[in-house]
Structure 1
Amino acid sequence: MALNLDTKDLGARQELERRLALATPSDTMRGFFFNGALAAVRELGDEAVKHCLEAGGETSFTGFFRYPVTAYLRVIYTAAWLLQEARGGFEAAMRHVGYMAAPPYLASAVGRALLLVNQKNPRLLINSQPTAYRAAVSYGECEIVWTGPQSGLLLTRHDFMPHLIHQGALLALFDAMGTRNVRVDGHQVGALDNEVSFSWGETRS
């Protein structure tokens, strides 16, 4: 059963502080996530990018370097707050931040290899996500549970990222493969646990 945590609560400063308090110095993630967040706010101009960099405590982020997850949380919350008016609310803004995390990853050597190996097969690409998750972050667990030939659940535990980030990233992966009739929905089901459901229809050749 999902937590009673609505969109307004998820976007509250107190929720950011709660997540920050649960993190330790050993909880880190790759820089391409940060660069995706910066790309998301670039439509608002240089000042928005500057605000996000200041929130993360860096002047730039290198794709496969590791940075504290606390810095990422501050960056994505700052980005979503800046974007929420233009994007129609905090939920849509945070999902957009997650969506924009995928292009820097897919442009990397690892991301290009995944797309090549999986040859536009969504099921194969989704099956690779636990491995990609482990390579990208130092914490938590990621699992894929299939509920049908073209539907399933992405489950994360002890995961500092809001489920909206995973929703956006999955949508971007499906788009990268030209997949049609995609549905992605998500919920927070524990203090740092997420459940994201997904399904699709067909893939363009």
Structure 2
Amino acid sequence: MSGGQPPGEGASSLGTELELQRRLALTTPADTVRGLSFHTVLEALRADLGEEAVEQCLAPRVEKVYRSFFSYPVSEYLHVLYTAAWMLSGKHGGFEDAVRRIGAGLAPGFLSSVVGRAYLLLAKEGPKQLISNMPVAFKATASFGESRVTWTGPKSGVFTSKKDFLLYLNHEGGMLGLFRALGLQGARVRGRQTGPLENEVEFSWE
């Protein structure tokens, strides 16, 4: 969908203008995300649809450049995320997979940053230690939300988040991107929304 418009009838309810407005209505000025999150969205657009798509996505926005560790309103991020996902829907088979594709770029971008490189040192103790600290990484990129990782086995667990303006699809894509970055084989994720701003993602690898 090149025009950046909401999907029509029959599409995922998460990808509707109504859902975007519902989330925006719950935000406050204290709810912010780092510029890194914007970079992930815009890099996906740039890679898949070109620079013109990035310019089209940002045309209604006041900000045109987002600094990695500056904080910006999550309402601004939601506008950019939804617009980009609508634009990418045609290429990726719908809104949901478009958001997953965007989320998959978060781990490489974060891990290449100064904070991310420090976080990556945990990988020396094994992937389980690093994954257990995903809530720490979440707090480094967003001012809102509470999250935790609960282990259900040596290579399986559940990531949960509350007061989280992101979609569970963001977290699914982010986890898959992290697992790829760590070289974990047979990675599987399955998420769902459990409340108005609550998510749950089950994950495992072989």
TM-score normalised to the size of structure 1? 0.92
Report the secondary structure of 2:159's partner residue: strand
Give, as a single letter, the amino acid of the residue that structure 2 aligns with 1:99. A
2:34 equivalent to 1:27: no
Identity across matched positions, percent? 48
- Summarize the alignment of residues 1-205 of structure 1 with structure 2, pairs less than 5 Å apart: 8-42=12-46, 43-119=48-124, 121-201=126-206
Give, as a single letter, the amino acid of the residue that structure 1 aligns with 2:141. A
Superimposed CA distance per residue, residues 133-182 of structure 1 (whole angstroms, 9 cap, x where no aligned partner):
11211111011111111100000000000000000000111000100000
Report the secondary structure of 1:119's partner residue: helix
Report the alpha carbon displacement of residue 101 of structure 1 after superposing the two structures with TM. 2.0
Report the secondary structure of 2:143's partner residue: coil
Give, as a single letter, the amino acid of the residue that structure 2 aligns with 1:175. R
- Gap regions ≥5 residues in structure 1: 1-5
Give, as a single letter, the amino acid of the residue that structure 2 aligns with 1:10. L
Whole-angstrom distance in 1 between the partners of 2:198 and 2:56: 28
Whole-angstrom distance in 2 between the partners of 1:7 and 1:194: 20
114-123 or 140-149: bigger deviation: 114-123
Structure 1 residues 55 and 187: CA distance shift in structure 2, 3 A: farther
Whole-angstrom distance in 2 between the partners of 1:122 and 1:28: 28
45-54 or 150-159: bigger deviation: 45-54
Whole-angstrom distance in 2 between the partners of 1:78 and 1:57: 15
Question: Which residue is 2:6 aligned to?
Answer: none
64-73 or 52-61: bigger deviation: 52-61
Whole-angstrom distance in 1 between the partners of 2:195 and 2:184: 30
For the aligned residues, what is the CA RMSD? 1.4
Structure 1 residues 107 and 121: CA distance shift in structure 2, 3 A: same
Structure 1 residues 178 and 7: CA distance shift in structure 2, 3 A: farther
Question: How many residues were matched structurally?
Answer: 196
Whole-angstrom distance in 2 between the partners of 1:55 and 1:36: 19
